[in-house]
Amino acid sequence: MSLTCQVQITLNNISKKRAVTVRRALEPDNVDFPDGLSLYVENANNKLVLNFESEKNISQLAGTVDEVMEHIQVILRVTEQC
């Protein structure tokens, strides 16, 4: 039996410029994800949507979500004036 877990996080009221900045900043981290773990980022209508999926390890998924959200928090602080 295989278990797949999906987590979707939506950041509302984010400008297109900041959403693009966050997305670009996350791209290098999204290259070498472990097997069975993925992240897809999309932005539309002043929202940035992060879709995480894990086919193997739920604790690894939770750690990845936490790490990505920490990165986003730093990016948003740095781009606060944009």
Q: Tokens 């039996």 map to which residue? A: 1
Beta-ladder partners of 12 = 47
34-38: long-range pairs with CB below 8 Å, 24+:
34/60, 37/61, 37/64
Number of domains comprising the chain: 1
Domain that holds residue 66: 5-78
pLDDT at 30: 67
pLDDT at 58: 87
pLDDT at 19: 92
pLDDT at 44: 85
pLDDT at 3: 82
Beta strand extents in the chain (DSSP E only): 5-12, 37-44, 47-54
Per-residue pLDDT of the chain (82 residues; tens, 9 = 90+): 578 999 999 999 999 899 999 999 888 766 677 788 999 999 888 999 999 999 888 888 999 899 999 999 999 998 886 5
CATH number, domain containing residue 38? 3.30.310.50
pLDDT at 80: 81
